Structure 1
Amino acid sequence: MATDFSTEISHLRTTMASVREVTDLEKLAARITELEGKAGAPDLWDDPEAAQQVTSALSRSIAERDRILEMDSRIDDLEVLVELGTEEGDEATMAEAERELASITKAVGELEVRTLLSGEYDERGAVITIRSGAGGVDAADFAHMLSRMYARWAERHGYPVKFLDTSYAEEAGLKSTTFEIDVPYAYGNLSVEGGTHRLVRISPFDNQGRRQTSFAAVEVIPIIESTDHIEIPENEIKVDVFRSSGPGGQSVNTTDSAVRMTHIPTGIVVSMQDEKSQIQNRAAALRVLQSRLLLQRKAEEAAAKKELAGDIKASWGDQMRSYVLQPYQMVKDLRTGHEVGTPQAVFDGDIDDFIEAGVRWRRAGGADAE
C-alpha cells in the first residue's frame, strides 16, 4: 500500500505545532538572550558553581531551540523531496522519502515526549539501582540482564554510563548494582522504569529444566545538584570502609577504598566501590544518599497532600513489567499495556517505545502522577 505522504506530513506538522506551543519559542528565545547576557559577564567565573549552572542552562536551551527548528526544516525538505519524486516518477527518490519519513516520525515522537517531561527533576541525570528479588540465582541473573539492558539503551543513544557500585551473587549474576547516566532528561525518561520487573523462563540453572519466575527491583533517582540544599549532619551518618572486591571475591585493590554510608535516622544504606580512592567513593556515596533523601522528602510531602485530600493510593504497584521467554515470547508493561513479542531486542536495549508509553501514561495521570 502506497504511503499517503500528504497525510503523514500534515500529522507531523500538527504534532510540531503542539511541541512549539508547549515549548513557547518566544519565551525560550528570551531565556537564551538572558542567559547569554549572564554568560558574557566578566565576573562569571568568580563563582564556579553558579557559572556552571548558567553555561549548562544556556547549552540546554540552545539545544532545545535548535532541535525544534531543525525538525521543522527536515519536514520542509521532506515535502520538497516528495514533490520532486512524484513529478519525475522517480522510485529511488520516493524510497529515500520513505526512509526520511520514518526517521522524522521517530524523531518528532521523541521530541513530543520530551515536552511531556516537565517534572521538577526531569531535566536531571539519573542514578539507577537494580536489586535481585525473589527467585534465587535466576533473580540475580535477571538483575544482570536488566543492568545490561539499560547500559545497551544508553549506548544506543551515545550516553555515558558510570558504574558506582556492584555486588556480585555467588553463583551467577548480581545482588545489586548502581550506575549513573548523567545526561539531560535521563531521569525524566528512566523514572518510568522504576518498579518491580518479572522474568518468566526455563531456568538455565535448573537441571530439570523447570520454568522459573523471578523478580528484580529497579530504582531511579535524580542526580543531586548543589542547589538542592540537602544538608545531612555528620552525626546522622555512619561510614564504614572496606576492601573493594570483584566477581568471586577477587580483590579489586589492596586498600580499604570502598565505602558503606548509613543514614542513621532513616536506615538508608549506600555502598560505593568503583572509584579509585576512598575520598572519591565517599563523595559518590554522599551524592547518592542526598538524592535518595531528596526523593524521600518529596514522597512524604506528596503523601501528606494525598492524605489531606483523603485519597491515598499506591503509586506503582508490585509489578510494572513482565518479560516472558517461556512458553511464549513477550514483554508487556502492565501499566500502559504496551507489549512486544521480541524480548531479546528489549534485553539488547530496545526500550524507547516502553519509555515513551510510560511517559505518556504518567502525563495522562497514571498512578496519580503529579
Structure 2
Amino acid sequence: MAETDFPAEVAEVRDTLRRITDVLDVEALAAEVSDLEQQAADPNLWDDQENAQRVNSQLSHKQAQLKRVQSLAQRIDDAEVMAEMAAEESDEAVLTETANELASIRKALESLEIVTLMSGEYDEHDAVVTIRSGAGGVDAADFAEMLLRMYTRWAGVREWDVKVLDTSYAEEAGIKSATFEVNAPYAFGTLSVEAGTHRLVRISPFDNQGRRQTGFAAVEVIPLLEGTDSIEIDENDLKIDVFRSSGPGGQSVNTTDSAVRITHEPTGIVVSMQNEKSQIQNRAAAMRVLEARLLLLKKEQEAAEKKELAGDIKASWGDQIRSYVLHPYQMVKDLRTGYEVGNADKVLDGDLDGFIEAGIRWRAQGSDD
C-alpha cells in the first residue's frame, strides 16, 4: 500500500477529538453522570415514578454520550500503538488495518462533531414528532405511514426509545396523522431539521390505471419539555373531549372513553392522545405536547418580531424540504442542502443519517451568516 504518515494522522484525529470534547465539556458531563448515579441509587427514588423515570432516562443518555467520547479516545490510543508496530515490523496487514481503523475513527468523529453544532435552547431535549398527510388523497395517507416507518426504523438502529402517542388511521390506507415521542440526548436538535413538507412521486398502487401520483406529508418536531420549562395555560382556554380509541378501519380497540382530545381555543392547536391505557394518562401526555407546541409557537413569534425589528426579510426555512421520487427514476433530494441519494428505498427504510447531518451543518452555517 502507499506510504502513509500515520503519526500525523493520529495527531490529527486526536486534535479533532480534543476540540470536540472542549465544546462538549466532558468534565461537566462526567460530573452530571456522577450526580445522576447518586440520584438513581437513592432507595426513595421510585416514590416519585415520573421523576425516577426522568433520572434513569437522563442517566442512560449521559452515560452513553460519555462512553462514546471515552471509547474514541481509547481507539485513537490503540491506533497509535498499531501504527508504531506497523512501522517497526513493516507488516502490510497491520498497515492496512491501521489505515482502515483511522478512517473509521474519522467517520465517528464527524458524527460526534454534529452534536457540537446543536446549541439551541432545547436541542438537548427529547422530541415529539407529528406526521400529517397532506394533499394527494390516499397516496398522501400512505406516504405519511411510510414516513412514520422511516423515522421509527432510523431511531431503532440508533437504539433510541420511540413511543407512539397517537395514531389516526385513514379510511382506505395509511394514516391521517401520527404523533410519537423520541427519547434520546439531542433528539430534538437532531430531528428538528426534518420539520417541513415532504413530497412523494411514484406510480400509485391505488390507481387502477397505473398513473404517476404526487403525495405530500407534513412533519412537525417539537421539544419535550422538562419540569424546569413551563408555560402557563389557562384551563378556561381548553376544550377537552373524550372518546374511544380506534384502530385501522375504525375498529374499536378500547371499550372505554380513554382517548383524549384537547383544543387550545385561543390558538386553535389540537392535541389528541389515545395510546395510553387510561384517560388520566392520555390527558397528561396531551398536556405535555400542548405545552411544548405553545412554547414553540411563542418562540417563533418572538423570533419573527425580532426579524421584523431588524429589517431582516431573508427567507429561512422553506415549506417543502425534501422530494422522494420512486418513478420514473429513484432519488431522494433535500431541497435546502442539495444532498441527494439515488436509492430511495434505502432512505425510506431508515437510512437518514446523511440527510440529517447535512441539514444540521446547513442550519449551523445559516446561523453563522
Q: TM-score, normalised by structure 2?
A: 0.89
* Structure 1 pair 211–28 and aligned structure 2 pair: CA distance change class (3 A): same
In structure 1, C-alpha distance between the alignment counterparts of 2:193 and 2:18, rounded to whole Å: 26
Q: Which residue of 1 aligns with 2:289?
A: 288
* Unaligned ranges ≥5, structure 1: none
In structure 2, C-alpha distance between the alignment counterparts of 1:106 and 1:352, rounded to whole Å: 12
Q: Which residue of 2 aligns with 1:236?
A: 237
Residues 35, 58 of structure 1: 8 Å contact kept: no
Q: Which residue of 2 aligns with 1:113?
A: 114
* Structure 1 pair 155–37 and aligned structure 2 pair: CA distance change class (3 A): closer
Amino acid at match of 1:341: G
CA root-mean-square deviation? 3.0
In structure 1, C-alpha distance between the alignment counterparts of 2:135 and 2:40, rounded to whole Å: 55
Q: Which residue of 2 aligns with 1:193?
A: 194
TM superposition shift of 1:115: 1.2
Amino acid at match of 2:221: V
Residues 99-143 of structure 1, C-alpha deviations (whole Å, 9 max, x = no match): 433432232112101111111111111110001111111111110
Q: Which residue of 2 aligns with 1:318?
A: 319
Residues 40, 56 of structure 2: 8 Å contact kept: no
* 2:161 is aligned with 1:160: yes
In structure 1, C-alpha distance between the alignment counterparts of 2:37 and 2:332, rounded to whole Å: 49
In structure 2, C-alpha distance between the alignment counterparts of 1:40 and 1:149, rounded to whole Å: 34
TM superposition shift of 1:87: 4.2
* Structure 1 pair 251–68 and aligned structure 2 pair: CA distance change class (3 A): same
* Structure 1 pair 43–346 and aligned structure 2 pair: CA distance change class (3 A): closer
Q: Which residue of 2 aligns with 1:216?
A: 217
* Unaligned ranges ≥5, structure 2: none
Residues 127, 179 of structure 1: 8 Å contact kept: yes
Amino acid at match of 1:238: K
In structure 2, C-alpha distance between the alignment counterparts of 1:87 and 1:37, rounded to whole Å: 44
Q: Which residue of 2 aligns with 1:145?
A: 146
Q: Which residue of 1 aligns with 2:21?
A: 20
Residues 40, 55 of structure 2: 8 Å contact kept: no
TM superposition shift of 1:290: 0.6
TM superposition shift of 1:180: 0.6
In structure 2, C-alpha distance between the alignment counterparts of 1:346 and 1:110, rounded to whole Å: 18
Q: Which residue of 2 aligns with 1:331?
A: 332
Matched position secondary structure for 1:232: coil
In structure 2, C-alpha distance between the alignment counterparts of 1:18 and 1:202, rounded to whole Å: 48
* Structure 1 pair 150–44 and aligned structure 2 pair: CA distance change class (3 A): same
Residues 123, 189 of structure 2: 8 Å contact kept: yes
Amino acid at match of 2:224: I
Q: TM-score, normalised by structure 1?
A: 0.89
TM superposition shift of 1:255: 0.9
How do 1:236-275 residues align onto structure 2 when only pairs under 5 Å count?
236-275=237-276
Q: Which residue of 2 aligns with 1:202?
A: 203
TM superposition shift of 1:359: 0.8
Residues 261, 271 of structure 2: 8 Å contact kept: yes
In structure 1, C-alpha distance between the alignment counterparts of 2:46 and 2:278, rounded to whole Å: 29
Q: Which residue of 2 aligns with 1:103?
A: 104
**Comparing 123-132 and 318-327, the one that deviates more:** 318-327
TM superposition shift of 1:88: 3.8
TM superposition shift of 1:51: 8.3
Q: How many residues align?
A: 367
